[in-house]
């Protein structure tokens, strides 16, 4: 049977990643292990646990090895099918994909790589090829773990909140045949190699700024359009057969040079010409290839964008301002709630026709020139209060949710981008609308969890806590402290602690502890390991345990037919150090560092360390120790928040004496080296903070 994705064979609607179901004895016979170095991945026997957010709560879900693989849909042709000067490249890429070679299109931004990739997919769609297209997520530079999570959600229909284990995913999808397109991928060569090894029977079409594909013969540099191709594009957009006189009248050579041959800017140039008074007043007697002259002063892309923006209808102008204010793509059904203007029907087409936005799936993103036009006009920012109120009103409207077959309510409206929620909350806090921000976060954070955006949800809880504190809303402060911390521990939990606790429970002494705690006889506790396997999902609660590396751990067990709950508490382990110190030392141990390559990789790293130090501070009884550990935890959370706000465009220095580093146009390997230096610097400060009150000897 052929598994070539270019020549697919019929397969069932679901492909099973693993046949059969695990027995209790399987679980009992296997050790408790931690898979790889990923946070919070806990395995009982052969299986890992994960978690999703349903109906306002966290629910455990089986391993990807136990879930059926969904069949991806057939590719669809792009809405805009015509390209200029790219036919030879499209054909070459299709040929390489047909013989099972993954392909990369790389080059400077805005050269049309995405349009070429979609044109390739259009040809594959004619063959009935199945696959998916992944566009970049707002506000973050995707890691390999992030990509695995996104692909797992597509393939299994589960919005996993914890990282999917690479080894298990590799085993589950080894027979999967599909074509996957990654737009604006920032993965390194090493990560792409691992990705291709994980999906050996899939083909990938990747667009990137730099050449990172291991197979260099399948990597193609995409150059700006040639002058001839640009003239063809302009002629097609204007519906003219442009000759030398027409091109000269339109100041084509000057416009082509200022657009740098970039297709998006040339499309905006054509939209500008079409919208001009002179163009609309053209007489029928005018030679068809000789349009009237264009003012040379209006040829620059920035000037064109400003003229096009000024001529927008008021609803379209408000949407453009909102796109610039919040910096995230918007789907048309969120135009009215975010702007407060109910007359937004057709605005997406108006903005797109003027080339002030680009399309990303069903969403629209403002162009750099259009954003600059908004700022140049001095238009005030969109109101975050209006946006917050509009989003909450839309979500609470009768009929905005429906009952799904699984029994849980599912939104009819596609949830707003979680980074839009973050941007609105940031703006509310900037405007000192503390009470509104706190209410908005309490209502909107679950939306981020429902869509699988764990880091966005955690950042929302942090912003909500800040707002509630400033508003003096003590009940909300306590809610955010508890919910945010517990969510962080659950999603970024300490896998090593969890595994250690499970191992102790499965041991003979552990069974005696169970007997003492529950009243069960040792004979009845002999089935403890089977009960652990049967109620494996309850092991998720282990991630809420405070880090207890190199610490004597006392296990408190409440066992019963409903499940098992385990909490870990730490003492000084006989080391003579103050309470909380052994936990803190374990947290900052350099061996527990996870590698980071991008600035955004540091955000979960900082948060994880802050969570551990906060837990250690809670254990401390010495006020000096408690204060030092909590202060360092607060500093790490602040550093994480600053890096989250900066995104991948800027690497935040690990303290005030270290300058921030702009990553714009910098090769990923250079960025990775700077990130490693920053991570090392922050780690040294962690060690210094702990050493000052605990001593590391």
CB 447 within 8 A of CB 418: yes
Of 250-259, 305-314, 524-533, 545-554, where does the model show the most confidence? 305-314
Query: Residue 148 burial by CB count (10 A; 0-12/13-18/19+): exposed, middle or buried?
Result: buried
| Separation of alpha carbons 529 and 526, rounded Å | 8
In tens, the pLDDT along 100-121 reads 999 999 999 889 999 999 999 9
**Across 37-64, average pLDDT:** 59
**Across 624-634, average pLDDT:** 90
Percent of the chain beyond pLDDT 90? 34
* pLDDT of amino acid 451: 79
* pLDDT of amino acid 281: 52
Residues 6+ away with beta carbon under 8 Å from 55 = 408, 409
* pLDDT of amino acid 367: 92
**Across 75-99, average pLDDT:** 89
Percent of the chain beyond pLDDT 70? 72
The first and second tokens of residue 341, run together, are 């203007």
In tens, the pLDDT along 398-454 reads 655 443 333 344 445 678 888 899 999 989 988 999 999 999 998 888 888 887 888
Q: HSE of 227 in the Cβ direction (CA atoms, 13 Å)?
A: 9
| Separation of alpha carbons 318 and 309, rounded Å | 10
What pTM was estimated for this model as a whole?
0.66
- How much of the chain is in helix, strand and coil states, percent to nearest 5? 55, 10, 35
CB 187 within 8 A of CB 144: yes
CB atoms within 10 A of CB 145: 18
**Across 657-682, average pLDDT:** 81
| Mean pLDDT, the chain, whole residue set | 76
Which of the four pLDDT bands, split at 50, 70 and 90, describes residue 278? low
Query: Residue 34 burial by CB count (10 A; 0-12/13-18/19+): exposed, middle or buried?
Result: buried
**Across 18-47, average pLDDT:** 37
* pLDDT of amino acid 30: 34
């Amino acid at each position: 049977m052929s598994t070539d994705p270019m020549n697919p064979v019929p397969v069932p609607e679901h492909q099973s990643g693993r046949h059969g179901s695990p027995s209790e004895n399987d679980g009992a016979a296997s050790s408790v292990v931690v898979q790889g170095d990923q946070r919070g991945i806990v395995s009982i026997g052969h299986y890992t646990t994960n978690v999703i957010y349903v109906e306002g709560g966290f629910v455990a879900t089986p391993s990807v090895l136990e879930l059926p693989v969904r069949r991806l849909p057939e590719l669809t042709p792009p809405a805009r099918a015509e390209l200029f000067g790219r036919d030879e490249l499209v054909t070459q890429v299709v040929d390489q994909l047909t013989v099972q070679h993954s392909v990369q299109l790389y080059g400077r931004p805005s050269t049309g790589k995405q349009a070429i990739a979609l044109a390739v997919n259009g040809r594959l769609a004619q063959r009935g090829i199945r696959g998916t297209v992944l566009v970049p997520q707002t506000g973050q530079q995707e890691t390999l773990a992030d990509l695995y999570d996104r692909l797992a959600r597509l393939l299994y229909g589960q919005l996993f909140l914890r990282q999917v284990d690479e080894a298990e995913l590799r085993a589950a999808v080894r027979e999967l045949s599909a074509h996957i397109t990654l737009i604006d991928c920032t993965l390194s060569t090493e990560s792409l190699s691992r990705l291709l090894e994980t999906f050996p029977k899939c083909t990938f079409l990747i667009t990137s700024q730099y050449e990172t594909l291991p197979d260099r013969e399948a990597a193609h540099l995409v150059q700006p359009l040639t002058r001839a191709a640009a003239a063809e594009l302009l002629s097609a957009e204007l519906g003219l057969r442009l000759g030398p006189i027409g091109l000269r009248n339109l100041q084509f050579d000057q416009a082509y040079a200022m657009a740098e041959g970039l297709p998006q800017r040339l499309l905006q140039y054509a939209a500008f010409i079409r919208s001009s008074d002179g163009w609309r007043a053209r007489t029928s007697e005018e030679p068809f290839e000789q349009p009237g002259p264009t003012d040379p002063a209006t040829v620059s892309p920035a000037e064109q964008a400003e003229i096009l923006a000024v001529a927008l209808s008021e609803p379209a102008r408000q949407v453009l301002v909102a796109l610039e204010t919040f910096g995230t793509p918007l789907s048309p059904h969120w135009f009215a709630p975010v702007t407060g203007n109910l007359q937004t029907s057709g605005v997406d087409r108006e903005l797109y026709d003027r080339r002030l936005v680009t399309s990303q799936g069903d969403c629209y993103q403002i162009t750099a020139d259009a954003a600059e036009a908004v700022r140049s006009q001095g238009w005030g920012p969109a109101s975050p209060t209006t946006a917050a109120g509009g989003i909450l009103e839309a979500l609470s409207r009768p009929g905005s949710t429906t009952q799904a077959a699984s029994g849980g309510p599912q939104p009819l409206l596609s949830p707003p981008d979680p980074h839009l929620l973050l941007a609105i909350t940031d703006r509310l806090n900037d405007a000192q609308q503390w009470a509104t921000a706190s209410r908005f976060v309490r209502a909107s954070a679950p939306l981020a969890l429902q869509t699988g955006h764990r880091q966005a949800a955690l950042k929302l809880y942090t912003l909500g806590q800040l707002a509630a504190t400033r508003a003096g809303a003590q009940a909300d402060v306590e809610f955010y402290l508890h919910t945010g911390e517990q969510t962080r521990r659950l999603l970024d939990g300490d896998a090593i602690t969890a595994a250690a606790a499970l191992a102790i429970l499965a041991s003979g002494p552990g069974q005696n502890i169970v007997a003492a705690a529950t009243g069960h006889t040792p004979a009845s506790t002999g089935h403890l390991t089977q009960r652990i396997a049967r109620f494996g999902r309850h092991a998720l609660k282990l991630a809420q345990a405070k880090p207890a590396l190199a610490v004597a751990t006392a296990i408190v067990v409440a066992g019963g037919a409903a499940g098992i709950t385990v909490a870990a508490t730490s003492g000084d382990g006989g080391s003579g150090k103050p309470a909380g110190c052994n936990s803190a030392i374990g947290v900052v141990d350099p061996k527990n560092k996870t590698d980071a390559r991008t600035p955004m990789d540091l955000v979960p790293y900082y948060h994880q360390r802050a969570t551990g130090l906060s837990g250690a501070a809670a254990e401390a009884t010495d006020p000096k120790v408690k204060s030092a550990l909590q202060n360092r935890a607060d500093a790490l959370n602040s550093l994480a928040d600053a890096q989250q706000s900066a995104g991948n465009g800027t690497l935040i220095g690990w303290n005030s004496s270290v300058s921030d580093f702009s990553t714009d146009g910098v090769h990923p390997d250079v960025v990775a080296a700077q990130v490693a230096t920053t991570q090392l610097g922050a780690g040294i400060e962690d060690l210094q903070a702990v050493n000052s009150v605990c001593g590391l000897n």
